[in-house]
Amino acid sequence: MWLGCHFYMACFQGITDRRLWWSKETIDKFKGAPFRLGEYISFSRFRNIGQSIRYTDKALPEFIDRFHEVRSLIDAWNLHMQKNYCPSWLNCLDESMNTWLDKYCPGFMCVPRKPHPFGNEYHSIADGDGGKPIMWRVKLQEGKDRPKNANGS
């Protein structure tokens, strides 16, 4: 149920406070969450499960790494897809995942550089043949939040 609630909440943009999904206020189409999840799981149980979840069994590094837990998840995903999935001839890389002009020619586009070269992002590649894209490789591209060791480098 916990995971299902996460999937459901991910379908809606602009709801930054998760507590709104368990609000006692009347549902308003202009503010707050469009539905309440209290009949499926209490907010305290939802929060407790989320605080107990661990994404890796690796010990914390001695330096600050905000992506410590997700690194193992990304590595496991990439290894699983490498062993179990064979992509087609047509692949979409990051911003090229856009609509097609016709059956055999993807609609190409020019994507300008980001306004600033800071921060982290995920680079991905997906199989673009066969209807819905299937992501088969992910890479964390680190920017200013890259972990620093003890001497600061």
- How far, in Å, are 7, 21, 59, 61, 70 from residue 65 at the CA level? 26, 30, 12, 7, 10
Of residues 30 and 117, more confidence is placed in: 30
Structure-derived torsion over alpha carbons of residues 61, 66, 69, 74, reported in degrees to the nearest 10? -120
CA 28: distance to chain centroid?
28
**Domain residue extents for the chain:** 2-52, 68-141
pTM above 0.75, yes or no: no
Q: For the chain, what percent of residues have pLDDT higher than 90?
A: 16
Contact 136, 88 (CB under 8 A): no
- CA atoms of 87 and 125, how far apart (whole Å): 10
pLDDT tens digits, one per residue of 93-150? 765 554 444 445 554 444 445 554 556 677 888 887 766 778 888 888 776 555 555 5
Contact 142, 65 (CB under 8 A): no
- CA atoms of 8 and 12, how far apart (whole Å): 8
Structure-derived torsion over alpha carbons of residues 78, 84, 90, 91, reported in degrees to the nearest 10? -10
| Residue 10 confidence (pLDDT) | 83
